[in-house]
A and B are shown apart, each in its own frame.
Chain A
Amino acid sequence: MELLRQASWLIWKDLLLEIRRRESLVTMFFFGTLLLFVFHFAFEMPRERAPEMAPGLLWLAFLFTGTLGLTQLFQPERENHCLDALLLSPMDRAALYLAKVFFNLVLMLVVELVVLPLFWVLFNLDSWRLLPAIFMVAFLGTLGFCVLGTLFSAVTMRARARELLLPLILFPLMIPVILATIRTMEVILRSGDASEALDWLRLLLGFDVIFLTAGFLVFEWVIEA
């Protein structure tokens, strides 16, 4: 309970800072929509090829947008040595990890809520009824991205070239999550039925749980290193 209480204070702080600074969300939102327009002009996507092309393009947009958010994730802690102030306190380090995962997840989901329907409109897709299922899969994929991304954002936080370093470390490790998410979306778009993608969904959920547990356990070591 103490862990959750501390995490909720940290989330409150991050949300309040984001509302006041409007740095991460606005940047992510514009970058995400900009990428969609670039894809729209660069690719011709006939409706029959949508199941194989749409998930990949969507995930490219989410991945780049999310990475932009991750590079800013610990910015408030970098300023004025606020991380030292947090580490001085008896706060459970895992509370900071949970709070940052949750905050990053909220930012990405807000962006995805706009980007997903916009993608459907721009590429003139007609499978609107599948959008809730696609969003649920995107949620699980985003969760995997956030749990792993938050951990490596902390790892690269003190590095000088962190903006370059983070994707170089993160993207190869993200392959299982990206693969499972894209395949799940592809099966849903092709068959129109989420139950057909259960194997991929289980795999995606498994990766989420494994990465969350690993992040939870090693974050203290990472943040205090």
Chain B
Amino acid sequence: MERAQPELPQEKSVLHVAIRSLAKAYGLLWALREVTLELKPGDCVALLGPNGAGKTTLLKLLCGLVHPTSGAIELDGENLLGDPSRLRSLIGFLSPSEHFYENLTVAENLRFFVSLYGKRESTAEVTRILETVALDSRANEYVGSLSSGMKCRLAIAKWLLLQPKLLLLDEPYGMLDGSGVDLLEAYLRGLAGSGGIVLMASHHVSRVLALCNRALILHRGKLIFDEPKQEPWLTFQRAFGEFLPRGEQWSS
């Protein structure tokens, strides 16, 4: 049976994100140092770097789960720490942590989280979104009974309902099967195409670079590379080469 395609946001979303001299220390360890960058509407950005480079810290800072040690994050000129409640509704975060209550059903989890965003979705709307992510037949099953891939699909359903303008993703490909990856990528293309911003941290370099139009590389907490995608991309090859497995070369 043909599945419905992810629905794109109705209105043209515009959001500018400015990150200024952002730094985060965990005790004596600096996870992120002096990161400054701007994300513009339509940006689909790959966030790359080795383990411990500060990718997850940057994503958590951007969604307000972690507070910076210094620096500022501005969304449309407003400080994220200043009026977090209003700005938080613009941000989505899809992470490998499941973020759902195991003893609530799929539909109950969706209704619960959507209600916290001040939205009221009808049962029909929830069913339609669950159809899109191929979970309609599991709507009344406990989340605890779902596989990791299905939970990832459920997370996609949640953000499809909430329609954030800035979507942050931390290793989204790990759990998804082929059709799940297609679904996610169609959603991300749609979001960036409608003026939203996507920032995705992943070690699946070729896959994210095929989707994204810009790449950032973090190394030991510092932003060492920030360029739009181009062909050929020798500067990226040089910058990222040292993080590839020995003997392997990245090629577009």
Q: Which residues of A contact B (CB under 8 A)?
A: 2, 5-6, 9, 12-13, 16-17, 20-21, 76, 79-82, 84-92, 224
Contacts of A80 in B (CB 8 A): 97-102
List 19 extra interface pairs beyond A81-B99, A224-B67, CB under 8 A. A2-B118, A5-B115, A9-B115, A17-B101, A17-B104, A20-B103, A79-B102, A80-B98, A81-B95, A84-B65, A84-B95, A85-B99, A85-B113, A87-B65, A88-B92, A89-B116, A90-B85, A90-B86, A90-B117
Contacts of A88 in B (CB 8 A): 63-65, 88, 91-93, 99
CB contact between A81 and one of B97, B108, B118 (< 8 Å): that residue: B97
Please, what's the 1-or-0 string for B115-150, where 1 marks a CB less than 8 Å from any CB in chain A? Answer: 111100000000000000000000000000000000
Q: Tell me, rounded to whole Å, the shortest Cβ–Cβ distance linking A74 to chain B.
A: 13
For the complex of A and B, list the 9 residue pairs with the smallest distance between their C-beta atoms, beginning with the closest: A81-B97, A85-B99, A89-B116, A80-B98, A90-B88, A90-B89, A91-B116, A90-B85, A20-B103
Q: Which residue of B lies closest to A23 (CB)?
A: B103
Contacts of B115 in A (CB 8 A): 5-6, 9
| A188→B110 CA distance, assembly (Å) | 50
| A25→B250 CA distance, assembly (Å) | 57
Interface contact A82-B116, CB-CB below 8 Å: no
B243 contacts partner chain A, Cβ-Cβ < 8 Å: no
B30 contacts partner chain A, Cβ-Cβ < 8 Å: no
B112 contacts partner chain A, Cβ-Cβ < 8 Å: yes
Q: Which residue of B lies closest to A9 (CB)?
A: B115
Interface centre among B63, B85, B89, B116 (most CB of A within 10 A): B116
Contacts of B112 in A (CB 8 A): 9, 12-13
Q: Tell me, rounded to whole Å, the shortest Cβ–Cβ distance linking A220 to chain B.
A: 10
Contacts of A6 in B (CB 8 A): 115-116
Q: Which residues of B contact A (CB under 8 A)?
A: 63-65, 67, 84-86, 88-89, 91-93, 95, 97-104, 108, 112-113, 115-118
Contacts of A79 in B (CB 8 A): 101-102
Contacts of A82 in B (CB 8 A): 99-101
Interface contact A86-B116, CB-CB below 8 Å: yes
Contacts of A12 in B (CB 8 A): 112
Interface contact B117-A89, CB-CB below 8 Å: yes
Contacts of A92 in B (CB 8 A): 85
Can you list 27 pairs linking A and B with CB atoms under 8 Å apart?
A: A5-B115, A6-B115, A9-B116, A12-B112, A17-B103, A17-B104, A20-B103, A79-B102, A80-B97, A80-B98, A80-B101, A80-B102, A81-B99, A82-B99, A82-B100, A84-B65, A84-B95, A84-B97, A85-B100, A88-B65, A88-B91, A88-B93, A89-B89, A89-B117, A90-B88, A90-B117, A224-B67
Q: Tell me, rounded to whole Å, the shortest Cβ–Cβ distance linking A194 to chain B.
A: 41
Q: Tell me, rounded to whole Å, the shortest Cβ–Cβ distance linking B81 to chain A.
A: 11
| A91→B162 CA distance, assembly (Å) | 14
| A191→B63 CA distance, assembly (Å) | 59
Interface contact B88-A89, CB-CB below 8 Å: yes
Contacts of B63 in A (CB 8 A): 88
Q: Tell me, rounded to whole Å, the shortest Cβ–Cβ distance linking B201 to chain A.
A: 16
Q: Which residue of A lies closest to B93 (CB)?
A: A88
Q: Tell me, rounded to whole Å, the shortest Cβ–Cβ distance linking B119 to chain A.
A: 11
| A82→B99 CA distance, assembly (Å) | 5
Q: Tell me, rounded to whole Å, the shortest Cβ–Cβ distance linking A19 to chain B.
A: 9
| A85→B91 CA distance, assembly (Å) | 12
Q: Which residue of A lies closest to B87 (CB)?
A: A90
| A79→B91 CA distance, assembly (Å) | 22
Q: Tell me, rounded to whole Å, the shortest Cβ–Cβ distance linking A203 to chain B.
A: 36
